[in-house]
């Protein structure tokens, strides 16, 4: 298996990450470093860390998140650490599948952060190479009932975080579908945005039902296999 390579040199990537961190900080968005892609997995050089996917560099990451330039110089001096944004403070995030996300994005005929005539809301959107769309919105409120029961919709608030562009993950780089700069760093209202997302979900369901039965069977998710008897999981012990 060939692992994806970073699209630019490590030195250039570190500078881009550092510059992006400064830009977020200038708008009051605290940042923190995460593991870096070493060509195989997200590593952090901690001997007691077994994580292989994207994760914060520190256990106490919530108290270490910063907007200080001198801190950024230290974090991105040697490694192209992932650029992580804590959620629940400056903004919350709804992470959805690409098919639903693409339905919820359109141009800004009524201005940033406001609903369009199609019932969609314009706000910052980051996408992953694996197919997740991450919508930034103002913090607060609760998850709409139509979205709360869905396992493919994740709300990131207090105690969570997201990777931000130009972070590189094993699947590829994070990129902006709609950048904060392009809409003046405006964030949509959470209730208004979720209403737009529900409308997109209804439109998708209607499109699915309009398909021939044969096409619906082909596109419908396969039934999950019956789980085998659970076995005790061995406990990981720290090497002494």
62: tokens are 């919530």
Q: How far apart are CA 218 and CA 222, in angstroms?
A: 9
Mean pLDDT, rounded, of the chain: 81
Give the model's pLDDT for residue 201.
86
Q: Does 26 score more than 90 pLDDT?
A: yes
Q: How far apart are CA 199 and CA 205, in angstroms?
A: 10
Q: How far apart are CA 113 and CA 193, in angstroms?
A: 9
146: tokens are 């139509």
pLDDT tens digits, one per residue of 105-155 = 754 444 444 444 444 667 899 999 999 999 999 998 889 999 998 999 999
Q: What percent of the chain has pLDDT over 90?
A: 56
8 A C-beta contact, residue 161 and residue 87: yes
pLDDT tens digits, one per residue of 162-214 = 999 999 999 999 999 999 999 999 999 999 889 888 888 888 776 544 434 45
Q: How far apart are CA 169 and CA 160, in angstroms?
A: 18
Give the model's pLDDT for residue 83.
98
pTM of the shown model: 0.78
Q: How far apart are CA 31 and CA 78, in angstroms?
A: 17
């Amino acid at each position: 298996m060939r692992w994806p390579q970073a699209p630019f040199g490590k030195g250039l990537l570190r500078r881009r990450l550092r510059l992006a961190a400064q830009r977020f900080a200038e708008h009051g968005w605290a940042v923190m470093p995460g593991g870096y892609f070493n060509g195989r997995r997200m590593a952090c050089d901690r001997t007691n860390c077994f994580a292989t996917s994207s994760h914060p560099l520190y256990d106490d990451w919530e108290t270490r998140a910063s907007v200080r330039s001198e801190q950024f110089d230290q974090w991105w001096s040697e490694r192209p650490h992932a650029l992580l944004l804590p959620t629940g403070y400056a903004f919350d995030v709804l992470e959805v599948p690409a098919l639903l996300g693409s339905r919820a994005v359109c141009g800004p005929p009524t201005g940033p952060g406001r609903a369009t005539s199609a019932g969609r809301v314009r706000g910052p959107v980051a996408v992953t190479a694996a197919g997740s769309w991450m919508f930034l919105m103002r913090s607060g409120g609760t998850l709409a009932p139509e979205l709360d029961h869905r396992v493919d919709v994740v709300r990131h608030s207090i105690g969570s975080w997201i990777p931000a562009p130009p972070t590189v993950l094993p699947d590829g780089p994070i990129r902006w579908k709609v950048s904060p700069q392009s809409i003046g760093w405006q964030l949509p209202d959470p209730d208004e945005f979720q209403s737009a997302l529900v409308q997109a979900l209804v439109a998708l369901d209607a499109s699915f039902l309009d398909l021939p039965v044969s096409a619906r069977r082909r596109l419908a998710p396969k039934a999950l296999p019956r789980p085998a008897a659970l076995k005790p999981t061995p406990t990981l012990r720290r090497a002494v």
